Structure 1
Amino acid sequence: MNMKKIVLTLAAVMSMTMAFAAGENDNNNTTTNANAYKFNVSTYALSRALNLNYDQVDVVEDINRTFATEMMNASVADNSERDAKVQSAIKKDLSYMRYVLNDRQYREYVKLLNVTLNNRGLNK
């Protein structure tokens, strides 16, 4: 009888541990997914990489702020709408940047954006 209690207690403890671990894994995935949509771009680093002039820096900073906001809005959207919102945010960002940057700067920006999106698993 004593052995039966030990086995049942052990089974209960193991099942609670497994349930807790599964919940932790879900929380980690949610956090990782939310972090994938955070775009806090350093304007200084981007301005150095693209060799932006003073006027371009201000405009690019505003564009990046808008892009970051749209990506965060996409992160909280339903799964059915998320991909469409991400693609819309990317298209808007690229169209705004195309207007502000010259050809060389724009090509470099597209490369940087693609690498970032690929690293975060958002480029499909």
Structure 2
Amino acid sequence: MTSKDFQVTFDCAEPQRVGPFWCEVLGYEATVSTETAFACADPGGVRPRLLFLRVPEGKVVKNRVHLDVRVGTGLVGQERLDALEAECVRLEALGAKRGILLVADGVNESCQNMQDPEGNEFCLD
């Protein structure tokens, strides 16, 4: 038997801060909220569940895995840059930090590096 369903788990210092941030980013709904854990799910049941667990150690190095938030799918050039910028501004208001903008290079389209409120890297793609 092969498992096909999965969730993405984030270690964090403040699940009650990081979890609601990702609910807003992705349009998810909270399903579990305790002092040590916060979970949220796609209301349509299509995308994976996210779980945020309180851990004692802080983030030290770059993430080995990150989420790409797909806001520019199918867009190119200035239209894509405008979509990335609009979402970046929205997420900054929620506590995200802007990173480096990687501009299209003929092979890859533009994407915006970001960090969530605890410094976990993600991309607006």
TM-score (norm 2): 0.34
Larger Rg: 1
More strand by share: 2
TM-score (norm 1): 0.34
